[in-house]
Amino acid sequence: MTPRPKSMMTPVSMTQVNIKDNFWSPRIRTNRNETIPHAYRQCKETGRIDAFDLKWEPGDEPVPHYFWDSDVAKWIEAASYSLAAHPDPKLDALLDEVIEKIAGAQQPNGYLNVYFTVVKPEARWHNLGMWHELYCAGHLIEAAAAHYGATGKRQLLDVVCRYADHIDSVFGPAPNQRSGAPGHQGIELALVKLYKITGNQRYLNLSKFFLEQRGQNPSVFQLELENLSSEDAELNRHFFQKKAGFDTRYCQDHLPVKEQTEVVGHAVRAMYMYCGMVDVAVETEDDGLLEACRRLWENVCQKRMYVTGGIGPSRDNEGFTEDYDLPNETAYAETCAAVGLIFWNHRLLHAEGRARYADIMEKALYNGALAGISLNGREFFYVNPLASSGAHHRQEWFGCACCPPNIARLIASLGGYIYSESDSDAYIHLYISGQGMLRTAGTQVLISQTSSYPWDGLIDITIQPKRPAVFSLNLRIPGWCRKAALWVNGDKMNLDGCIKHGYARVYRKWLPGDEVRLELDMPVERVRAHPNVKQNQGCVALARGPIIFCLEEADNPAPLHRLILPKRAKFKTIYNGDTLGGIVKLQTEALFTEDTDWSEGLYRFQPPKTHPCLLTAIPYYAWDHRAPGEMQVWIREGGE
């Protein structure tokens, strides 16, 4: 094993970032004023929060579910991030109230899970494969880390430390401990967060233990299944028992993690596990884990990812199938999976310092994840298809409500994804207007950005070191950008000589008030799928900058599949501040296939007639906000 540095760079905390952006500020405000209160009301009205009072008795409705704890935990995390960026005494008090309930539900030995305390206490740690105990524990730990970081209050942190200590006493390699792994990953990355806060090495060791439990022969889940009743094992058999035998690809247990080469199974479980792999790899300097993540990244991002950054085409396993299998109308592409993809790429970015990870992070952020929440912040997609007949719509909540608080915690913590720092470098990954306070070259450096991104590629940056300092400013040149230009204090730079790992690296002595201008060419691009993606042959998707566009029936003649985009058609870009929260839409002349002259027969020799029409495309994230109708991302290309 070749040791590696702990990380190439460190993310700048969201508490050091102030976003003042025409695109993101309204969404952050909506998240704070609408989404987070809405998620609280839903958790309250559905019984999720009051379930921590442990007053449920047999016969009562609703019956607490074994994943309910995680929904409340993610709400706490989102609310805590919001509180860190925007102090709010009422929200602070509400968090204290909910945390008090959670603390009151903790058992004397540290155990904490509502379902396995009042509904099935006899089944505690009985079915790790499908019953989410360790997953819920992971989200509680993440919530505690966020709340402690936002407020400095230790109540929830102390609760989860007691819980983690209990879990550590149950699971491990010692003779008095048991083997096992979470069927739904999430605790692995959470334990590393807890280790970083507390310095307790046992939490890092436990995270590593859970990762190393995967891929054993026989599987820990197979051994577990042998001790389950027929009724309790129903879910396990559905997902694990296949014609070829016992197969735990569904939860990435088919091989030891360091030997895995393909992304398989449930997409969200995979993303959370890969996050844990990067975290453990960085903290233990284990390049074997990082190398596995590189292989898995190549597989998902080059063979199994939608153009929107969505992942997981199959409803059956909420996840992956095989290379190049990317259907459009039946795409699953769960919002949580896109959020998880962002989490994973953010970690890989800091481990390796390569812009390709920030490119994927940005793609999923502006498209596959952002589509998961409505403009009003109170309706959500669980599933994000790339084509719709008009029947797919956002909902206010779900029985399995993982997605709403997940997108809420992402938006609330967005400031933490923009900048990074090291002893000698400052990095800008996302072009979001506002300010970030970094520390590099032994001094504080205030970086200010101003732009109309993602609608325009002109970004003005001001550098304000506390004192003159020599360091490198690294500006990501997005993978979608074919032409860029850079000026420092009005002098044009030679970009060819300063690109490193996808970043324009400017090394100099920086003075207060130094100005940088980055111009990213942002034409309308036609994106084509790999020849093995059979669903999209002869079609193109439209992209401009980081935004993927789609057609909606509200703007175009229907049915949409009859539209033909001529190969030489030129697009107009039109900004409309009054439509869908303010968007750039694309327009061009296209063709529409007629059926008016078609006889009663189903087939004929003559081609159909076409007539000219106006084609209008809007950002994919903004679809399903107007009259119900068809939508599609991929457009048939033909003619001249």
Active site residues: 318, 402
Tokens of 419: 């900048």
Query: What SS3 class is residue 178?
Result: strand
First vs last Cα of the chain: how many Å apart?
56
Please classify residue 510 by burial: count the beta carbons closer than 10 Å to its beta carbon, then call 0-12 exposed, 13-18 middle and 19+ buried: buried
Contact 522, 551 (CB under 8 A): no
3-state secondary structure 433-500: CEEEEEEECCEEEEEEEEECCCCCCEEEEEEEECCCEEEEEEEECCCCCCCEEEEECCEECCHHHCEE
Query: Helix 335-352 crosses helix 287-303 at what angle (to 10 degrees)?
Result: 130
Contact 400, 446 (CB under 8 A): no
Whether the bond between 89 and the residue before it is cis, its omega within 30 degrees of 0, is no
Q: Tell me which residue of 400, 401, 403, 432 sits closest to 416, measured CA to CA.
A: 432
Q: Tell me which residue of 23, 128, 127, 149 sits closest to 81, measured CA to CA.
A: 149
Please classify residue 546 by burial: count the beta carbons closer than 10 Å to its beta carbon, then call 0-12 exposed, 13-18 middle and 19+ buried: buried
Contact 349, 357 (CB under 8 A): yes
In the chain, the amino acid numbered 211 is: L
Contact 174, 126 (CB under 8 A): no
Tokens of 309: 């950054």
Residue 285: CB atoms within 10 A of its CB come to 14
- 546 beta partners: none
> In this structure, what DSSP letter does residue 63 have?
P
From residue 444, how far is each of 84, 347, 511 by CA, in Å?
Answer: 21, 24, 12
Tokens of 169: 């006493």
Query: Helix 187-198 crosses helix 155-170 at what angle (to 10 degrees)?
Result: 120
Half-sphere exposure of 572 (CA within 13 A, CB side): 10
User: 428 φ, ψ to 5°?
Assistant: -120, 115
From residue 253, how far is each of 154, 167, 183, 442 by CA, in Å?
Answer: 35, 21, 9, 45
Whether the bond between 559 and the residue before it is cis, its omega within 30 degrees of 0, is yes
Residue 218: CB atoms within 10 A of its CB come to 10
Strand pairing category for 503-510 and 469-476: antiparallel
Contact 366, 547 (CB under 8 A): yes
546/364 Cα distance (integer angstroms): 9
Strand pairing category for 17-19 and 547-552: unpaired
Tokens of 124: 């505690």
